Amino acid sequence: MKLYLGYKIIRRVINNIMRCIHNVNSIIIFWGNNVRHKNFSTTGSPYVSVARSGICIIGNNFRMNNGIKGNPIGCSQRCSIFVDRGAKLLIGDNVGISQTALICHERITIGNNVTIGGGVCIYDTDFHSLHPELRMKNQTDIAMKKPVTIKDNVFIGAHSIILKGVTIGENTVIGACSVVTKSIPENEIWAGNPARFIKKINL
């Protein structure tokens, strides 16, 4: 029992030290990528790449879990934030993400009080042309891009994928492992691949 308690105490001290290191490292990463942010907390350090003409703005009380230690639900990767040239990634207040990929080639807007589960991917692009002839050459392999909007109080379950052109209404819940291919109204629960309406949320 004493060994167990001693292990727990040592582990807590080490975790607190590492949390401070990760916070400092994340501040440096944000600064190096010209990310405008307010206060945040993090477990682990994210991967961030913002192009010189890209814009990334993060609101108050932003929370990040990078790697399995931050949120042990089966995702080992760290958060990825990518903003392409001329694109905008806007994140509101009180947003939490875990091992999440935010890949922004045009515009992604995330409202306030949004919870994004482990391993969620949000893409505003197809990445490649849908036509095989155009994919054969880099100069013609141009992807379709459409903005993504996640409104206030949305909860997106683990391992879900949000695709280009989608708007998710306020208070809506997306079930785990869903693929969202079209816009969803407020106050509803959707789940599946592709995501389908499950029921209304009575507030």
Catalytic residue among 22, 37, 128, 131: 128
Centroid of chain to Cα 78: 10
CA-closest candidate to residue 88, choices 100, 101, 106: 106
CA-closest candidate to residue 48, choices 61, 38, 36, 59: 36
User: Do residues 59 and 44 lie in contact, with contact meaning Cβ atoms separated by under 8 Å?
Assistant: no
Within 13 Å of residue 142, how many CA atoms lie on the same side as its CB?
3
Interatomic CA distance for residues 80 and 102, integer angstroms: 6
User: Do residues 135 and 92 lie in contact, with contact meaning Cβ atoms separated by under 8 Å?
Assistant: no
User: Do residues 58 and 91 lie in contact, with contact meaning Cβ atoms separated by under 8 Å?
Assistant: yes
Residue 105 bears catalytic tag? no
- What is the full DSSP assignment across 59-81? -SSEEEE-STTTS-SS--SPPEE
User: Do residues 83 and 100 lie in contact, with contact meaning Cβ atoms separated by under 8 Å?
Assistant: no
| Catalytic site positions | 128
